[in-house]
Structure 1
């Protein structure tokens, strides 16, 4: 497995985890996947909680629930230390 495969596998795992949160809230799989991709994209943004909570609020979730769901999505979207270590080690091996 190449370093790129590892990166995509970790990202895919995070996408599936975040999409599951959206699906459990009643969103169809395609919509859940799209929302999870947005969450992963926003995970590094300074206003990430506010922006993702706004997505939930736009779909009718009350503000406290929207913030809680945004925080859950961000926890699931965060790369694990293992992902970074593996990618870094693969880059070293490639040199």
Structure 2
């Protein structure tokens, strides 16, 4: 995916927003970005909250905190309605 595609879909923005959540807890940038990519990949999974909160729990966060951080990541990972609309228009061309 080119940089233009990232800008067009907003995926790059979502990726960096989720990475910022991981960085804010002390993860180095590369690790935060890797965790953010996993979150974006899991965002459409049926069991997404459990899977992402397990990632946080594996890093020592208490269960309630892990679930809350997972929910924040998923909110930030969700495409904006305008991005979804743009993607549909692009596919029709």
Mark yes or no: TM-score above 0.5: yes
Runs of 4+ in 1 over 3 A off after TM superposition: none
**Which residue matches 1:69?**
69
The 3-state SS of whatever aligns with 2:23 is: helix
Give matches, 1:1-95, under 5 Å.
5-6=4-5, 8-9=6-7, 10-92=10-92, 94=93
Larger radius of gyration: 1
Tell me the CA shift for residue 88 of structure 1.
1.6
Q: RMSD of the alignment, in Å?
A: 1.3
- Equivalent residues, number: 89
The 3-state SS of whatever aligns with 1:22 is: helix
Tell me the CA shift for residue 29 of structure 1.
0.1
Tell me the CA shift for residue 41 of structure 1.
0.3
Name the CA distance, whole Å, in 2 between partners of 1:5 and 1:15: 15
Name the CA distance, whole Å, in 1 between partners of 2:22 and 2:16: 10
Tell me the CA shift for residue 5 of structure 1.
3.0
Name the CA distance, whole Å, in 2 between partners of 1:50 and 1:91: 32
TM-score normalised by L of structure 2: 0.90
> Mind listing any 5+ residue stretches in structure 1 that lack a counterpart?
none
